[in-house]
A and B are shown apart, each in its own frame.
Chain A
Amino acid sequence: GNSVTQMEGPVTLSEEAFLTINCTYTATGYPSLFWYVQYPGEGLQLLLKATKADDKGSNKGFEATYRKETTSFHLEKGSVQVSDSAVYFCAPRSYGGSQGNLIFGKGTKLSVKP
């Protein structure tokens, strides 16, 4: 089955700092890759996605590139804001049956200080 390894948190940054959250995965077939974000007290929402190799997903200043050769999907942002404080989850999703389940990493908690 699919699995994900995310960098351990928590990550604490100052406002306007550069962010990288590493994510590597193992998956059957040719998965789509997702980053979800969970703000305090809320459910998960999709941040960005990529469906094929070398695709770059982007949203709200965040970016991640689908690297098939290294099975990675690292999340980056050039200048974080206090409002980016949240937990970030990387997740691959393959197609069909149990492989179609979204499997999450443990999440990386980001705290941004003003």
Chain B
Amino acid sequence: NAGVTQTPKFQVLKTGQSMTLQCAQDMNHEYMSWYRQDPGMGLRLIHYSVGAGITDQGEVPNGYNVSRSTTEDFPLRLLSAAPSQTSVYFCASSYSGSLPYEQYFGPGTRLTVT
């Protein structure tokens, strides 16, 4: 198993550009999520999905879009990048069900918006 993979590892964007951060998992997990990590802020939830075709907003969704067309993939789209979106982005996945399962995290994407 590759686990949770994220691409790219690093990205520099100019203000106003758009891009998609890729996330994939090969564990057949129903639940997937995106977090951003900023110094002194911990991890904050951007969007999450409980299964293919189902997405919902987390704590800080503005400026980001997601879709879930397959179980494996959960891309995060930045529509018009802003310097405030400079951060490290983590994707995570887990089983759903009657017991809250642990989440598995990807290695992260470090994004800089100039």
User: Do A101 and B45 touch across chains, with their CB atoms under 8 A apart?
Assistant: yes
- A88–B42 alpha-carbon span in the complex (Å): 10
> B99 is contacted by which of A34, A51, A103 (Cβ under 8 Å)?
A51
Residue of A at shortest CB range from B110? A41
| Residue from the set B42, B43, B100 with the largest chain A CB neighbour count within 10 Å | B100
Residue tally, chain A, CB below 8 Å to B: 25
User: Do A95 and B42 touch across chains, with their CB atoms under 8 A apart?
Assistant: no
The segment out of B11-19, B75-83, B90-98 that lies at the interface is B90-98
- A54–B101 alpha-carbon span in the complex (Å): 18
> A106 is contacted by which of B41, B56, B98, B105 (Cβ under 8 Å)?
B41
* Bitwise interface map of A from 31 to 44 toward B, beta carbon under 8 Å scored 1, else 0: 11010100000111
Residue tally, chain B, CB below 8 Å to A: 26
Residue of A at shortest CB range from B98? A95
- A51–B100 alpha-carbon span in the complex (Å): 8
A102 on the B face (CB < 8 A): yes
- A34–B90 alpha-carbon span in the complex (Å): 17
- A27–B5 alpha-carbon span in the complex (Å): 30
Residue of A at shortest CB range from B97? A95
Can you list 27 A-B pairs, Cβ within 8 angstroms, ordered by A?
A32-B99, A43-B90, A43-B107, A43-B108, A44-B43, A44-B92, A44-B105, A45-B105, A46-B102, A49-B102, A51-B100, A94-B100, A97-B50, A98-B48, A100-B31, A101-B33, A101-B45, A101-B58, A102-B33, A102-B45, A102-B92, A102-B103, A104-B35, A104-B43, A104-B44, A106-B40, A106-B42
